[in-house]
Structure 1
């Protein structure tokens, strides 16, 4: 007798097929072979008791504090545990229940059927001299040479910015930012590079964003998270996409003792509010990209928590970007200068993609293209 553990969904389906299970049965059984966990915050006590009983009745479980049965508090945090099949049943069953369980059911349905987006690699070009990684700094003709190289290496998107947002960095004037990026935009148009790759502008300055959009750019990467309505208006006018990033504070102050009660929940609430704002102005979710802002007002533990819980943010129905390329969180795990952080970068990005991110913002396109190609084969 031999016993071995089945790994991916592909492995499970292959094993069931090898047993001779019919195709319809395979799909049913695979759902029973994936265990899911959902943390529910501030669930009304009557709802917790109902959900507990409903979960137990189908073989799932709801972990609750001891006082729930006695209704000692009006709300409780809970953990729902079960297979994908259990969650599908509960997502339908709780739609008819009171005390907020309809909302729980609707949220479960979002998590169970997230929109799938293609995996894309976003290369980084900085048109300034003070970005934290010297290897990303290029101006005018040099930038175009680097862009050509990134296209050859397999970049899907190239993100160009002219102002550093590293911790402690100072803001620059609008005219200086435009002066830095304008020559690159002009050369992109002249060389018709916008026909070969998607361009993203890393800016929250309206005049800079407008110039880039008129130069063939189709994504605005806004580290202020759509704080300025003018940026959203420009995105709509040019039929572009908007990347909303979360940041606590500003680049100058963000790493001065960042604090969260629950970083995943608070970043999630931020996205809910900004998505609602953008939709109210006319944007569609498929044109919104979410970036949790690794290193932007976060400690190492905050960053790690967000990467481990990246899948949570897929339920919004938007694309999810991760950008940890060569950042200092790697140095905090294992000391390494910026130039030596590629291995740590790949480890973080592969984990983030495994958890649901589909856009990887990086300095090293070729290395990421190879790593992602191998990862995609392994996950099948």
Structure 2
């Protein structure tokens, strides 16, 4: 496994890293069924790398926060990954495994994945932090809630959640340079709370870890401008550009080429303004 230290990955970068989403599932909210065949998944990974993806995030169980996604057993998740993940690792890009199961994470890390993306922030599977800590891998710690509660002050809730996750990580020997925080746009939140989470992203910087934002095609966009997931490119780009302005170091996206172009143009404009001032 090629270890991924996020501080090192970001050296010399003047715009966020781009993580390409690869759903090897039949029921993901936006592209379920498109890439669950192994040859289609590998081809999609190649395409995203060519478009500028820095990381490929592979998931074999839909974790969509709404809808009728079916739970997948450990065996089922491993079976879906078996013919996909090693081939994508061989492409030479940093690979992230999107799972909330420590056994699946452990297998993926042994196959060469470098990052664990846990939508429950090390707080669901009691063995997840140990697996990450012992492997030397990096981890994306995402904020989540069991129940959506419009009355919750979402930024305060995120800070409390991340404080627990960071304590768990520290106890397992996971250093801060191997941790990224994800506000969990759309997970356990109303659309308005997701919008606030992006608007108040700077509140997370005090925790000392880089921040990832995954707003791609999320439902909050439709709350502003009614649309189905495939019609939310404009809203996704707007959210990720504003997240970058607020200090996000990684964006997790379906539309890699368009996001890379938007980030590079925005960065060039910002750099020109600084040169003129």
Fold shared, TM-score > 0.5 on shorter chain? yes
Q: CA deviation at 1:336?
A: 1.1
Say if 1:237 and 1:137 are closer, same or farther in 2 by CA, change over 3 A. farther
- Counterpart selection for 1:173 from 58, 67, 73: 73
Structure 2 residue aligned with 1:162:
60
**CA displacement, residues 322-360 of structure 1 (integer Å, 9 cap, x when unaligned):** 001011111111011111110110001111111111100
Matches within 5 A, 1:81-92: none
Q: CA deviation at 1:207?
A: 2.0
Structure 2 residue aligned with 1:229:
126
Structure 2 residue aligned with 1:295:
186
**1:244 partnered with 2:144:** no
Structure 1 residue aligned with 2:218:
327
State whether residues 136 and 363 of structure 1, in contact with CA within 8 Å, keep that contact through their aligned partners in structure 2.
no
Q: CA deviation at 1:136?
A: 7.7
Structure 1 residue aligned with 2:96:
200
**1:378 partnered with 2:273:** no
Structure 2 residue aligned with 1:345:
236
State whether residues 19 and 253 of structure 2, in contact with CA within 8 Å, keep that contact through their aligned partners in structure 1.
yes
Structure 2 residue aligned with 1:21:
none
Higher relative contact order (CA 8 A, sep 6+): 2
State whether residues 324 and 349 of structure 1, in contact with CA within 8 Å, keep that contact through their aligned partners in structure 2.
yes
State whether residues 192 and 220 of structure 2, in contact with CA within 8 Å, keep that contact through their aligned partners in structure 1.
no
Instruction: State how many pairs are aligned.
Output: 255
Matches within 5 A, 1:16-165: 118=13, 119-134=16-31, 137-138=34-35, 139-165=37-63
**CA displacement, residues 219-259 of structure 1 (integer Å, 9 cap, x when unaligned):** 0000011012311111122211011111111xxxx4xx423
Structure 2 residue aligned with 1:112:
none
Structure 1 residue aligned with 2:250:
359
Say if 1:326 and 1:136 are closer, same or farther in 2 by CA, change over 3 A. farther
**CA displacement, residues 238-286 of structure 1 (integer Å, 9 cap, x when unaligned):** 211011111111xxxx4xx423431111111111121122112211111
Matches within 5 A, 1:307-318: 307-318=198-209
State whether residues 125 and 159 of structure 1, in contact with CA within 8 Å, keep that contact through their aligned partners in structure 2.
yes
Runs of 4+ in 1 over 4 A off after TM superposition: none
Distance of 2:33 and 2:239 partners within structure 1? 19
Distance of 1:260 and 1:171 partners within structure 2? 29
**1:187 partnered with 2:91:** no
Distance of 1:345 and 1:135 partners within structure 2? 18
Q: CA deviation at 1:135?
A: 6.9
Distance of 2:158 and 2:113 partners within structure 1? 27
Structure 1 residue aligned with 2:275:
none
State whether residues 295 and 327 of structure 1, in contact with CA within 8 Å, keep that contact through their aligned partners in structure 2.
yes
Residue ranges of structure 2 left out of the alignment (5+ in a row): 1-9, 272-277
State whether residues 23 and 31 of structure 2, in contact with CA within 8 Å, keep that contact through their aligned partners in structure 1.
no
TM-score normalised by length of structure 2: 0.88
**Paired residue secondary structure (1:356):** coil
**1:280 partnered with 2:188:** no
Say if 1:128 and 1:261 are closer, same or farther in 2 by CA, change over 3 A. closer
